[in-house]
Amino acid sequence: MRICIRVISIFVLLTSIGLFISYKDVMAYEEAKYTVIEKDGDFELRQYDPQIVAETIVEGNFEDVGNEGFRRIFNYISGNNRKKQSISMTAPVSQEITSEKIAMTAPVNQERVANKWRIYFLMPSEYTIETLPEPLDSRVVLRKIPGSLMACIRYSGTWSKIRYEQKKARLEDLIKKRNFKTIGDAIFARYNPPFMLWFLRRNEVLIPVERI
């Protein structure tokens, strides 16, 4: 019995290592660009660069909306879009419609909007709002986000609402202690795909702030 348990434990460990290596090798996503202004334990103050995102609004509970929002935007970056490309020739000027795949980025952000949730992906830095292909799903829109100062706390583990609320409360407390003013809603950031084992995941709670 002990040998059996030991074999199972080794198998789980090797599977975890394999998934982690696979993730590191294959899922090397471009991440949102920021500068760390202050760091103290698990607290960070970051200055984020302006971003272009693809976003969608989803109604539902905390655990379910992320999956639905992810699916919509993942479909967009995987080819569910309309790229209108004008090709100048001697005569005539032709227009060609193709589907374009867009590289995955990290993190996937989730932000509360009234009784709904905004889910959004950062678009790769090689694109501008003008060069990104138009989404075919009307629920997916492209938006520019200006640079912002963000308070952040990082943690590993599950994507549960309880865990998120605990970290959000801690971050709010740390913000108050540092005499910052909250100027927006909290954002739940997920850096890993669903197949990543929970203890290897990188999760963050971010809150936009300004100095008092």
Q: Based on the number of CB atoms within 10 Å of its own CB, is 69 exposed (0-12), middle (13-18) or buried (19 or more)?
A: buried
Amino acid code (one letter) for 203: N
Please give the share of the chain, as a percent, with pLDDT higher than 90. 53
What is the CATH classification number for the domain harbouring 110? 3.20.80.10
Residues 122 and 65 in one domain: yes
Residues 155 and 202 in one domain: yes
- The whole-number pLDDT of residue 28 equals 57
- The whole-number pLDDT of residue 10 equals 36
**Average pLDDT score over residue span 197-207:** 92
- The whole-number pLDDT of residue 180 equals 95
Residues 110 and 99 in one domain: yes
- The whole-number pLDDT of residue 66 equals 87
Q: What is the torsion angle, in degrees rounded to the nearest 10, for the CA atoms of residue 63, residue 64, residue 66 and residue 71?
A: 150
Q: How many folded domains does the chain comprise?
A: 2
The residues, any chain, with a CB within 8 Å of residue 103's CB and separated by 6 or more, are 29, 30, 77, 124
Write out the residue range of the structural domain in which residue 2 sits.
1-28
User: Residue 105 — very low, low, confident or very high, per pLDDT cuts 50/70/90?
Assistant: confident
Residues 14 and 62 in one domain: no
Residues 46 and 140 in one domain: yes
Q: Is the pLDDT at 86 greater than 60, yes or no?
A: no
- The whole-number pLDDT of residue 30 equals 87
Q: Is the pLDDT at 178 greater than 60, yes or no?
A: yes
- The whole-number pLDDT of residue 170 equals 97
Residues 24 and 39 in one domain: no
**Average pLDDT score over residue span 67-78:** 90
Find the range with the poorest average confidence among 3-12, 57-66, 67-76: 3-12
- The whole-number pLDDT of residue 29 equals 76
Residues 6 and 52 in one domain: no
Q: Which residues of 88-193 form beta strands (DSSP E)?
A: 94-98, 105-106, 108-113, 116-122, 134-135, 141-145, 148-155, 180-182, 187-190
Q: What is the CA radius of gyration of the chain?
A: 20
Residues 15 and 71 in one domain: no
Q: Is the pLDDT at 101 greater than 90, yes or no?
A: no
Residues 4 and 92 in one domain: no
Residues 148 and 191 in one domain: yes
Contact 53, 45 (CB under 8 A): no
The token pair that represents 191 in the structure block: 């850096």
Tens of pLDDT along 115-167? 899 999 899 988 999 999 999 999 999 999 999 999 999 999 999 999 999 99
Spatial separation of the C-alpha atoms in residues 48 and 194, rounded to whole Å: 26
- For residue 69, CA distances in Å to 29, 65, 122, 156 come to 19, 6, 13, 21
Residues 135 and 182 in one domain: yes
- The whole-number pLDDT of residue 160 equals 93
Write down the mean pLDDT value for the chain. Answer: 81
Greater pLDDT, 209 or 87: 209
Contact 83, 16 (CB under 8 A): no
Residues 72 and 4 in one domain: no
